[in-house]
Amino acid sequence: MIELVDTYWLYFLVGQYPDGPLGGLALTVLLSLGALLLAMPFGLLLGVARVSARRTIRWPVAALVHLVRALPLLLVVFWVYFFLPAVTGVKTGQATTMLMVLVLFDGVYLAEIVAAGMRALPKGQLEAARSLGLGYGQALRLVVLPQTLRRSLPSIVSQLVSTIKATSLGYIIGLSEVSFIATQINTLVFTQAVEVYLVLALSYFVLCFGLSRLAFLLERRLQRGAAQAH
């Protein structure tokens, strides 16, 4: 295994870069972080709409959230990569396709996280802010959302873990993320499949377990802070 890592570690990390497109573990991490960051404004808007007092806002957003959550991510990847270009005439690359799908799914799941965080706030926070002369948008931006995001930080980190694992579905459309690169390395060495996929599994484990521990520590810290406040 040491010889395998020594020979292919650079290809495993960055793919063909700089002589070709970025790939490997670097693409997996960057794609996951980029999707989560781009989905954050989308998720905040949907999350606020999910707890809106107006049914005309709340119900369509709830329908969108439930629809997206009910669809397999792999199916949406196929639709965007194969069906959408046939309809629009515009073909998207593998990385762009995967980023679009991940932003959509992350946005929907972040919406549920934000909505749950807002519902968990003590009642009267919004009304108290409004009574101080703040408008609805100001009250959300200055009072409600900062508290919501702070409480939701462990869940957001956990969503990043899910996004990292979801990038592996890009393999189906030829995206050179880390599992695709591992398969290519396996075709080169052929007799070391166990070692290749063990390295792949360890890479996912280190990333996801590390982030899961971070989420746990953040949650413990928030709980201690809440207990001290009381």
Q: What is the pLDDT of residues 182-226, one digit of tens each?
A: 999 888 887 788 889 899 999 999 999 999 888 888 878 877 765
Give the number of other CB atoms < 10 A from CB of residue 74: 13
Q: Look at residues 107, 94, 102 and name the one whose alpha carbon lies nearest to residue 170.
A: 94
Give the number of other CB atoms < 10 A from CB of residue 165: 14
pLDDT recorded at residue 192: 82
State the Cα–Cα distance between residues 31 and 25, nearest whole angstrom. Answer: 10
pLDDT recorded at residue 228: 59
Provide the 3-class DSSP secondary structure of residue 121: coil
Give me 36's structure tokens: 């989560």
Residues of the chain with pLDDT under 50: none
Specify which residues 8 forms β-bridges with.
none
Strand boundaries in 112-191, DSSP class E? none
Whether omega for the bond prior to residue 18 falls within 30 degrees of 0, making it cis, is yes
pLDDT recorded at residue 87: 82
Q: Look at residues 165, 157, 54, 51 and name the one whose alpha carbon lies nearest to residue 111.
A: 51
pLDDT recorded at residue 127: 73
State the Cα–Cα distance between residues 49 and 149, nearest whole angstrom. Answer: 16
